[in-house]
Amino acid sequence: MALGSTQSVLEALKRSDRPLLCVPVGAGADGYASALGFARVLKALGKKADILAAEPAPAALSFLAGHGGIQTQFHDLRRFTIELDASKTKVKELTYEVKDGKLLIHVQPASGSWHPKDVRVNDAGFRYDLVVCFGAPDLESCGEAYRAHPDFFFATPIVNIDHAPENEHYGALNIVDLTASACGEVCFDLVESIDPNLLDEEAATAFLTGIIAKTRSFKRPNVTPKTMAAAGKLVARGARREEAVMALYRTRSVPTLRLWGRALARLKQDPERPLVWSLLSRQDFLHAGADEAHLADVIDELITSAPSARVVALLYEGTDGAVHGIVHAERPFDALALTAPLAPAGTREDVRLRAEGGLLKAEEACLAAVRKGMQTR
């Protein structure tokens, strides 16, 4: 990694008082694990970082430190400052109360009094002063956070960490390593270049988890000698490889297994294309005792169950009453291109989409788009 890029990232991290780590739509376990590991690195630098994800974090990653603190929506994005001129009249006591939905601030002077002109309300700007994105090809893939607050993303410096060629280099600093197999690998290389001592056991475990998830436990063709070397260094740093493999591939909760069983019961295969898909109704979630946080594990199991398929789709009824879809594509197929008519968000490997109508109508629309796209390959 270029020394100039490393130094620039380090300076940006040091200058930041409150960084925000963003996990986009379709980032998968690699994106979440990379963000969790990076949060540990920032903690070692004396920084407190929040993690904002476009979707709930996979339940399988609950063994990673900080998993429970991942947010799916902004809280208190803007800050306001109430300024009181106390240069002549000193403050003796400050109290506040909330009454009828209003915040009442009571300030008692040591002597004398204040006038309305002594009080000002200032917009102190945004709560966060730096954004770090993990595996986001563009800002739109950050989901509702970007759609609702584009002004924040345009006004705040962004460090863009990725390994995919489709990345649009939208950051003020772009750490996009096309030779890496996962964001976890890019993060490790970056931290090692900055200061290896910032990497504790938890951060090493998180980055290794990202690599294992992205490479399907080193079984995918994107694995390189560089990837294996990074994994070896992470294990030497205390990364818990067996725990990561167990959580990702050998342990599934009962609700996940029930939901997976219902998805398998409806699994369909295209006779002419390497395509499989399934449907899940709201009743399926209720009977399985599962929620949408279990879907990442379900789609992983579907991929494993259909090794010959290059495209796997899962359509489900969300809690909002709409039909949503997850589409995973292996090269040479591109999930974004295959589902382009349905306004997807995510990466070329994994996208999320929202379809009109009920499950059957959504199935028809999704399959029509995917089949048409696959014919062009």
Report the distance separating Cα 230 and Cα 18, nearest Å: 29
Would you state the pLDDT for residue 122? 63
Amino acid symbol at 42:
L
Q: Residue 210: pLDDT band by 50, 70, 90 thresholds?
A: very high
Would you state the pLDDT for residue 2? 57
CA–CA distance from 288 to each of 220, 253, 257 (Å)? Answer: 31, 11, 8
Report the distance separating Cα 292 and Cα 11, nearest Å: 38
Would you state the pLDDT for residue 101? 78
Q: Above 70 in pLDDT, residue 377?
A: no
Evaluate whether 132 touches 20 at the Cβ level (below 8 Å): yes
Q: Above 90 in pLDDT, residue 173?
A: yes
Q: Which of 5-19, 36-50, 96-110, 131-145 has the lowest mean pLDDT?
A: 96-110
Q: Above 90 in pLDDT, residue 312?
A: yes
Q: Residue 364: pLDDT band by 50, 70, 90 thresholds?
A: very high
Q: Which of 60-69, 114-123, 134-143 has the lowest mean pLDDT?
A: 114-123
Averaged pLDDT for residues 216-229? 89
Extended beta strands in the chain, E state: 19-23, 50-53, 78-84, 91-99, 102-109, 119-126, 130-134, 158-162, 173-176, 268-269, 275-280, 311-317, 323-329, 345-346, 350-355
Q: Which of 133-142, 247-256, 269-278 has the lowest mean pLDDT?
A: 247-256
Q: Above 70 in pLDDT, residue 116?
A: yes
Would you state the pLDDT for residue 4? 63
Would you state the pLDDT for residue 79? 65
Mean pLDDT value across the chain: 89
Would you state the pLDDT for residue 162? 96
| 3-74+128-248: CATH superfamily | inorganic pyrophosphatase (n-terminal core) (3.90.1640.10)
Place of tokens 């169950």: 305
Q: Which of 172-181, 202-211, 316-325 has the lowest mean pLDDT?
A: 316-325
Return the domain boundaries, the chain.
3-74+128-248, 79-125, 254-375
CA–CA distance from 344 to each of 9, 45, 313, 339 (Å)? Answer: 31, 37, 13, 6
Would you state the pLDDT for residue 48? 93
How large a percentage of the chain has pLDDT more than 90?
A: 60
Half-sphere exposure of 354 (CA within 13 A, CB side): 8
Would you state the pLDDT for residue 349? 86
Report whether CATH 3.10.310.30 matches the domain 254-375.
Answer: yes
Q: Which of 48-57, 62-71, 111-120, 219-228 has the lowest mean pLDDT?
A: 111-120
Averaged pLDDT for residues 153-162? 96
Report the distance separating Cα 176 and Cα 267, nearest Å: 36
Report the distance separating Cα 187 and Cα 33, nearest Å: 10
How large a percentage of the chain has pLDDT more than 70?
A: 97
